[in-house]
Amino acid sequence: MTVTTTLRLAALAGLAPECRPAVPPGAVRPGILHLGLGAFHRAHQAVYTETAVAAAGGDWGIVGVAPRSRAIVDKLRAQDRLYSVLTVGDGPDHARAVGILSGLGHAAGDPYGVLAAIADPGIRIVSLTVTEKAYRLGPDGRLLVDDELRAQLTGAAPPTSVPALLARGIMARGTPLTVLCCDNLQGNGPRIRGMVEQALEVAGASLPAGVAFPATMVDRIVPATSADHLRRAAAALGAQDSVPVVAEPFHQWVIEDRFPGGRPDWAAAGAIMTTDVEPWETLKLRALNSVHSACAYLGALAGREMISDALQLPGMGGLLRRFLAEDIAPSMTPPAGVTVLGYGETVLERFANRELGHRTHQVAMDGSQKLPYRLLGTIADRRRAGAVPVWAALVLAGWMRFARGVADDGSALPLDDPLAARIRDVVTQQPDTPAGLVDALLGLDEVFPAALASDGELRAELIRWVGELERYGAAATIAAAGR
């Protein structure tokens, strides 16, 4: 059946009741400004917030701000700020329109408009999903300040970057505010607080009282929307949506409960409000995200397009379970009532969802920014305990081979990473041998802390794995490792 209606306010009455937004679109006054209008926010925090407002009320509409690309803003405007979430993998497809967006903004095109919106006392929460690289933090957690950022912070240039928008937005405010980082950074609350303090210092200001930076752990697998997803969203929704997001059924949000300006009743939507997010964050980064990266790099080297296909490689399940049991579990204390291995099993089940169509190359993106949070902590902790984390080293070696840019069948692998030019540069300056590749990449001081870069035993283990991957290929290496 061809769907001819377009998703707009006027079309809502014609949708099946379970496909309509949980709140009347446009009726909720804005209380949150969110930076990062990508798929993840729209399938996660926006849905939680809409459900919370539907259950418990409150002026918590979301002003969604796209940092760079304006395409998403234009498309949402054309649909009266409506979009749909298509949930796949749990029986039949299910789609629901979301109506919690109460405004839209574009930081690159109208940075001063965004600053004014942050300064508006009606906004009590500024939340973010801008990915690791947008925070511009080095491995020591310090803000990397270059001339351009300095100009943005001192007012000589428009504040288009995330550090400048936050710092100058906070400088323009007088009322309590919560900055809520929803990216996969270890200790995301304190880390963003440190970043904002440093940015304010460069701007000649300091952090005012009444600004809080609670930590959060966010979780829902949300792949890039494909043409197939577009068709399926239209069929499940009963209207054409140009910007649907596709997601797995599972979702989780753990939030440190510190909101000086108030917050939606997210617990009413299933979020866990707590005083200590750290064990959840560590669990998720180490036992989910690093396992995802393992599937992405090793799977891409072995020519697998989707994460679910990578998981089917002979030996992959065994290898990932060893990685979880022997390296990850001993490196951390999970939250009360949770075991790393039990959690790991649910993660593997979620990764096996074929309907998601999650590409290995998508998860492989930005490795230089992601691995410090999801993998290097495990390695550093195991090294401090005197152990060699064999499987974690294989995953890191997988990234190194991936960064070299050639899959096992000789095809090119895209290096989509803010450090791509630098990575290519250091790699070509060293001999094309396992030791040359490992030394070139361990020398990236933006990525590897000195203690790991100078660790001879770790280096030897990486060289061994890079050598095996080169000699036998990823598929055979996985098969042998996971036996």
**Contacting positions for ligand CS2 (CB under 6 A):** 184, 219-221, 289, 292, 363, 370
Structure tokens at 17: 């009741």
Closest CA to 383 of 479, 472, 461: 461
d(CA 162, CA 135): 7
Residue closer to ligand CS2 by CB (options 219, 256) is: 219
Cβ of residue 370: shortest distance to ligand CS2, in angstroms? 5
**End-to-end Cα separation, the chain, in angstroms:** 48
Q: Which is nearer to ligand CS2, 170 or 266 (CB)?
A: 266
Residue 362: CB minimum distance to ligand CS2, A: 6
In whole angstroms, how close is the CB of 363 to ligand CS2 at the nearest point? 4
Q: What SS3 class is residue 454? A: coil
What phi, psi does 474 have (nearest 5°)? -65, -40
Q: How far is the CB of 131 from ligand CS2 (least distance, A)?
A: 9
Q: Which is nearer to ligand CS2, 290 or 331 (CB)?
A: 290
Distance CA 252, CA 139 (A): 28
- What is the smallest separation between the CB atom of 478 and ligand CS2, expressed in angstroms? 19
The span from the CA of 87 to the CA of 232, in Å, is: 10
Strand (E) or helix (H) holding 217: strand 216-219
Cβ proximity to ligand CS2: between 248 and 439 the closer is 248
DSSP letter for each residue of 23-76: S-TT-SPEEEEEE--SHHHHHTHHHHHHHHHHHH--S-EEEEEESS--HHHHHH
Least CB distance to ligand CS2 at residue 184 (A):
5
Least CB distance from residue 455 to ligand CS2, whole Å? 25
Mapping DSSP onto H, E and C, the string for 254-319 reads EEECCCCCCCCCHHHHCCEEECCCHHHHHHHHHHHHHHHHHHHHHHHHCCCCEHHHHHCCCCHHHH
Minimum CB–partner distance for residue 221 and ligand CS2 (Å): 4
**Nearest distance, CB of residue 399 and ligand CS2, angstroms:** 12
Tokens linked to 130: 């801008």
For ligand CS2, which is the closer residue by CB, 105 or 299? 299
Please say which residue, 67 or 105, places its beta carbon nearer to ligand CS2: 67
**Residue placing its CB nearer to ligand CS2 in the complex, 5 or 362:** 362
Token pair, residue 464, equals: 């061994």
Q: Which of 298, 319, 318 is nearest to 309 (CA)?
A: 298
Question: Of the two residues 242 and 353, which places its CB atom closer to ligand CS2 in the complex?
Answer: 353
Residue (219 or 455) nearer to ligand CS2, CB: 219
Backbone angles phi, psi at 312, to 5 degrees: -80, -10
Element holding 125 (H helix, E strand): strand 125-128
Q: Which helix (H) or strand (E) holds 147?
A: helix 147-154
CA–CA distances in Å: residue 12 to residues 80, 268, 291 = 11, 25, 40
Q: How far is the CB of 8 from ligand CS2 (least distance, A)?
A: 30
Residue nearest to ligand CS2 (CB): 292
Q: Which is nearer to ligand CS2, 184 or 240 (CB)?
A: 184
Contact between 315 and 472 (Cβ < 8 Å):
no
d(CA 301, CA 407): 4
CB 292, min distance to ligand CS2, A: 4
SS3 219: strand
